[in-house]
Structure 1
């Protein structure tokens, strides 16, 4: 693994909080990757996420598409997003990163930050847009920006299209794995950690596909019901950080300890909150057959090896949760319009093809799905570099 192209740490002069930016790779002089905010965020964490973004971009390379993959990058701020000082820290971080945001780094929401919060902070920091570095690569910037703005205005069942596409992608990865194993969708049980943007949207699509959501964990604990939770009611009762109002729970719903989602009696486990959620200290509690990484880096490598030894398949983040990033660029570059059904159909086709390719290679080569995804990305990166170059 090569060293990242750029790696830096910033210190907020007001609070002393740290922020990080890692640009792993450029394609045509631009890299893509979200900005997260969480207590304890480290440079090492951000570097791993940036490397993952390089692979996500490469995995969605379509030589015939308008969307041309970018390089990979990531930003991270060591601060609790619920801290009253958090927004000020975010604005000052963005001001400090302005030279990179204007020239090479396109970013957006990630753990702890909504796109609305990012956009408000960008405006206060005097920046045009979180993705302005890519504008010079567009054939028609005005039309592309209008198309993306229109897409962000689309809602389905009270949720934004930008929120839903990521969950649609995770769900399609799960459904593809079930189909390959000839496991029926209806009645297959799911447990999720996290009910924010990615977790909530994943639950929405899996529920609609007939799977039974039996456990959901938020910051307050785990809610469980072996007969299935009312996903629609839980989604309607969320706050902006994915916390669920317990007043909507039904008589059969139980409040359980926070880590109960890990050992839920379910075939599919979806960690959709924090990194490093599954480690060697808790992996033995998992009873699921599949783990779909809706969060970034939720399963530590040694834990994944142990899980594989027990026959548990991990659908890695670089594939499973890559739909949100791809949707931004499919829309901006013009592969799809500002339409929910078109976005969902394109996401489903792309994610099914990519997940199927990954699982097929894993089976053929006798390797893990993650290793297979990395191998596919490694095959594509030289092709992308030869065609477009690092610096444009």
Structure 2
């Protein structure tokens, strides 16, 4: 895959002076896919890296014979704190500015700092039909496809929307696949999760229900830890809209620790599920876990990953393990699955188990890291897509 993106755009809000970015890494059949994030300090370089990752996530889910044909990769990002009173107005004006791209070729959705309901509301205010309307011309039956996706988004499982759960289901299945291949039992395996928002919260729930022991979770207020295991369901019920846990819900044995304590707790698996660049060359020294599973996008810096690999710590890369949400949208919209929670979970588990297995097999054969294996596999699958639809990015 070429390194130069197809399109790079920076927008400056005329009201607040804040900036937003859009990067289209490549197009497939004239369309690309990638979420929109909002966080203070979001940069163009960050968005470009995320867009390239989306190209790989899409390509990795190429399966000949499926109705869903992977799209190109893209990403949007706004440099603003989503808690800022001006944030929603900034979001609407950004969408008004990039409206021609959303209408023509950029399909998007929630990402860090934004929920899908907020994105949908802002899209409507900006005069857009849908955050994924650019893909509609590729559908065999647009009316039925839109009905199916709307029905899927309306589903709730234990009080939580299906769209908020499928990504974490995929991350959890990635963890379980790694444990199975290593012959490690689920019971007693300790997990620490950074971030208890949509992705981190769902991952913690699925792992706890599989029998793993969630011993630490971190949010913007710090780390909560208990070596005997946290009550994940109680913590999820005590979250606010941004994934911060009300500390009054903690049990007497639950300890409150500094925000970065999740790195060094005694755990077998670390799941960074919040911000990018969370693990660097300095703080990686504190990690003793055997696996790091990237539920967030780009949480482990390259220099840190090299040092971790040298210490025998395996990083399962974001382009594989957190790809479930994006893929679920398209599996549903294109008709590979219906608006059914159990079917969605089963399909996600099977797809991620197959993909993680293929990546680990490739890494073992090549003698490299799972990330290098995933990138190689993505390149091969992208070449298959290009051979069918043309190389234009």
Which residue in the other structure is 1:51 paired with? Answer: 52
CA distance in 1, matches of 2:374, 2:161: 29
- Alpha-carbon distance, 1:2 to partner: 2.4
Q: Does 1:31 align with 2:25?
A: no
Partner of residue 272, structure 2: 271
Which residue in 1 is equivalent to 2:304?
A: 303
Query: Distance between the aligned counterparts of 2:392 and 2:161, measured in 1?
Result: 34
Looking at structure 2, the residues matched to 185 and 4 of structure 1 have their Cα atoms a distance apart, in angstroms, of 41
- C-alpha distance in 1, partners of 2:254/2:147? 44
Does structure 2 retain, via aligned residues, the 8 Å contact 1:26–1:390? no
Work out whether residues 25 and 390 of structure 1, in 8 Å CA contact, stay in contact via their aligned partners in 2: no
* Alpha-carbon displacement from aligned partner over 1:336-368 (angstroms, at most 9, x marks no partner): 011100000000000000000000100111000
Q: Secondary structure at the match of 1:7?
A: strand
Number of equivalent positions: 392
After superposition, give the CA deviation of every residue in 1:217-248 in whole Å (9 maximum; x if it has no partner): 00000000000000000000100000001111
Cα distance in 1 between the residues matched to 2:104 and 2:8: 16
Looking at structure 1, the residues matched to 121 and 316 of structure 2 have their Cα atoms a distance apart, in angstroms, of 34
1:167 counterpart = 2:168: yes
Using structure 1 for the length normalisation, give the TM-score.
0.99
Deviations 1:8-58 (A, max 9, x none): 100000000000000000000000000000000000000000000000000
Instruction: Quote the residue 2:180 is aligned against.
Output: 179
Deviation at 1:251, TM superposition (A): 1.1
The aligned residue for residue 42 of structure 1 is: 43
Alignment of structure 1 residues 339-350 onto 2, 5 Å: 339-350=340-351
State the Cα distance separating 1:390 from its structure 2 match: 5.3
Once the two structures are superposed, the pairs formed by residues 177-256 of structure 1 within 5 Å of their partners are: 177-256=178-257
Q: Does 1:281 align with 2:268?
A: no
2: CA distance between counterparts of 1:22 and 1:15? Answer: 22
The CA RMSD over aligned residues, in Å, is 0.8
Q: Give the superposition deviation at 1:164.
A: 0.3
| Structure 1 residue runs of 4 or more that deviate by more than 3 Å after TM superposition | none
> Structure 2: which 5+ residue stretches go unaligned?
none
Please, which runs of 5 or more residues in structure 1 have no aligned partner? Answer: none
Contact 1:29 1:390 in 2 (8 A): no
Is 1:98 the counterpart of 2:99? The answer is: yes
Please report how far the alpha carbon of residue 204 of structure 1 lies from its aligned counterpart in structure 2 after TM superposition. Answer: 0.6
Task: Note the alpha carbon deviations across 1:122-176, whole angstroms, 9 max, x for none.
Answer: 0000100000000000000000000000000001111110010000000000000
Name the structure 1 match of 2:372: 371
